[in-house]
Amino acid sequence: MPIFDRAIFSRPLSILNNPFPALFALVLLSASSLGIRLLLSSTTPHKVPPAKMSSAPIKMAPRKKIAIMTSGGDSPGMNAVVRSCVRMAIHMGCDAYCVYEGYEGLVRGGDFIKQMDWFDVRGWLSEGGTLIGTARCMAFYERAGRLTAAKNMILNGIDALIICGGDGSLTGADRFRAEWPSLLEELVSTGELTAEQIQAYKHLNIVGIVGSIDNDLSGTDATVGCYSALARICLCIDMIEATASSHSRAFVVEVMGRHCGWLALMAAVATGADFLFIPEKPREDNWREEMRSVIQQHRRLGKRKTIVLIAEGALDKFGNKITPEEVRDLLADKNGLALDTRITTLGHVQRGGTAVAYDRMLATLQGVEAVKAVLEATPETKTCFIAITENKIVRKPLMEAVLDTKQVAKAIESQDFDGAMALRDAEFSEQYKSFMMTTAGQIDHETLLPEKERMKIGFINVGAPAGGMNAAVRAGVSYCLSRGHEPIAIHNGFAGFARHHADSPGSVRPFDWLEVDGWASKGGSEIGTNRELPSESGMETIANLIEQYQFDALFLIGGFEAFHAVSQLRKAREQYPSLCIPMTLLPATISNNVPGTEYSLGSDTCLNELVDYCDKIKQSASATRRRVFVIETQGGRSGYIATLAGLGVGASAVYLPEEGLSLEMLSEDVRHLKEVFAQDKGQSRAGRLILINEKASKVYNAKLIADILRDEAHGRFESREGIPGHMQQGGVPSGMDRCRAVRLAIKCIQQLEKYGRNVHNRVKMDPMSASVIGIKGASVIFTPVQKLEEEETDWPNRRPKAAFWLSMKEIVDILGGRPRHTLPEPDLTGVKAKDVKRGLEPVAN
């Protein structure tokens, strides 16, 4: 990953020779939930005046007109798509239109096709559903309807369309594009339009963005709205579990998914459900006996609750539909399990509500990329849709994905379930295996390793607590037990290991599976955590204790402190042979500042908490109309959380440690805010937010900035500060953090398994024996700690050298309407700083 040059962000975004943007100066943008990459065409912000022109007459090209439309079932995040498309189109010098009520509006035309202003979409990020509406349109299925739609687009001067919807909506769009030339010919031949009217619109460019809570389109890991729906399901099941445990009941929970079991599968992984039914993978042979056996074993272990998740399209291996009533009757059978059983069908509660932080980020970045794709398209370009693979934004051919999606349904219908699973993405298959391993693995003795290959693995959390830590421990422990390993908890980090191992009970003790099984939805760290490093606890003490307890491997979960701890342990191997055991780190920190990964457990949970907090603050600011809130975020010397939150709430400005903060920047932002509020004509949603990372400046904090803004506003607007503090670390872990915790934790234990026991010499020679698991671009990889500490770590600032997400800051500024600003001068340090102060060297300009 290239390290971004600060100079890129201090230069003007483009140089104009006319009032319209010069396309395109390419700027590499890498971003994630977690970190996501895309190429964004950057031009001068919409508010920057054009360069001075010569007096010679210039023939103006017509402005490109781009229409945005939502279609099919609504999903959380659609409004974020519309907002980003509208503002990016305007920023690029285009006219933006919204088509209301989907294809119905395209056919009806008139007021259903409306040109949008920059301020028409403010406040849309926090709104659920789709504010421009969606509706079924039978007329568009007929050629006559598509003919009318084409005419309406020509009359409005539109020949570029961005559609956010499901596979059916996007398939219709591709057909519309294929027919476009013949539709125009027919409109001219029938006298509806003239040849001159269609001359400039011979080609229709279409880009799709998948908006679907089912996450059912092949070729992308996530669709806009799917993680918001997962969040609703997890919330409901967490509530159901409380009452189920109280009465020792069983609940059968039905979720959406006629042809795709993604929601059911991810919810089962995230909540630790006892049994699962999805369309793609029916249970083998007798599912009734298998379910009875699994749940009976769980009850024997002492579980008081039973949760069975079923997708609405669930089938048995013979293609027969499995209903919630059928499952309930089996669980309640007096001659069988005889459980007091209830059915809960979640229904449309899954579809409603505001979008979670990830969906807002995904929708925003895909909207930006969609505008760029439309402008770059040629008549020969295939219709594409914007996808995400792991953490990388990519364009993919639309119809190939649609055909693959239809193949899944055909495979299920023909009972080719292995084929159906193969057509799903790699994460889907891995999560299914993870669920089976963590839920039924202890019952299936075929997964046990031979006695000589079984390991004693120490689990230790290091650093601050982060959402998903407990889910990772639960998954790792469950996998260990299914393989015959002995998982051991080391409580309260290295400090607890060194000073309390001999207590009663000691800090080193086996896991109680019945207790661990309930950790999936718990925040914080149930085995405790501590920032103390092995060197501070005493390296010799730690080495002796590892030998005393005969650990064969260490599994660490934590943030930069955990990374530093693995680095210290690796370097001490020469002196202490007992440290020559495999060890791997699963990054877990809200700061997302661990080298070797673009995603850390807890960062998504933190963003959800912070976005929710900012939504409430912004609502308060809007109620008083002209008020700015300055919000201080955590994150250490990494501005990841501030930037991603700024993207999710539409911040007016974001201040980061990577860029710094100066009085000149504050002055420019005050001037900008005055202009913004001067244009306010009394509309709602006029509140503004500024986010500042806690270490963005040694001088300027949230309170001081709020005071400066208040004083410099001279009564034109108000300002307040808000500090959410440690609430950013707390809360119930998000569905994404839980699911990724399970998947990555199992991969970590599998990595340790490769080494086995008594492999000191091999470990000493193998750099991969001390590693960090991470998501980088489109891959999940392990990276040697030695490589990371030597090449990729900014040790003084406790963060990676390359901030993969930093260019997302430019999108925050563009979509927030912030004018370009001057970055602070870099600090002089060391001898050079002393010489300049003494006048021995000139001050660099």
Annotated binding site for substrate: 212-214, 249, 256-258, 312, 342, 348-351
Q: Is 551 left (phi over 0), alpha (psi -120 to 50) or beta?
A: beta
- Taking the C-alpha atoms of residue 183 and residue 333, their distance in angstroms, rounded to an integer, is 62
Cis peptide before 275 (omega within 30 of 0): no
Please state the φ and ψ torsions of residue 102, each to the nearest 5 degrees: 60, -140
Contact 461, 601 (CB under 8 A): no
Residue with tokens 């492999």: 759
Active site residue 512: no
At 766, list the tokens. Answer: 């193998």
Among candidate residues 174, 214, 517, 669, the one labeled active-site is 214
Q: Which residues contact 366 (CB under 8 A, 6 or more apart)?
A: 81, 84, 209, 224, 386, 388, 393
Nearest to 368 by CA among 91, 177, 15, 75: 91
Determine whether 446 is exposed, middle or buried from the number of CB atoms within 10 Å of its CB (0-12, 13-18, 19+).
exposed
Determine whether 574 is exposed, middle or buried from the number of CB atoms within 10 Å of its CB (0-12, 13-18, 19+).
exposed
Residue with tokens 């980003």: 84
Residues in the annotated binding site for beta-D-fructose 2,6-bisphosphate: 531, 589-593, 627, 634-636, 694, 720, 726-729, 798
650 DSSP assignment:
T
Q: Is 468 left (phi over 0), alpha (psi -120 to 50) or beta?
A: left
At 457, list the tokens. Answer: 């693995």
- Taking the C-alpha atoms of residue 351 and residue 74, their distance in angstroms, rounded to an integer, is 7
Residue with tokens 């509006």: 105
Q: Is 758 left (phi over 0), alpha (psi -120 to 50) or beta?
A: left
Contact 714, 646 (CB under 8 A): no
- Taking the C-alpha atoms of residue 184 and residue 272, their distance in angstroms, rounded to an integer, is 56
- Taking the C-alpha atoms of residue 83 and residue 760, their distance in angstroms, rounded to an integer, is 57
Determine whether 412 is exposed, middle or buried from the number of CB atoms within 10 Å of its CB (0-12, 13-18, 19+).
buried
Residues in the annotated binding site: 73, 136-137, 166-169, 212-214, 249, 256-258, 312, 342, 348-351, 531, 589-593, 627, 634-636, 694, 720, 726-729, 798
Q: Which residues contact 177 (CB under 8 A, 6 or more apart)?
A: 204, 205, 206, 383
Residues catalogued as catalytic: 214
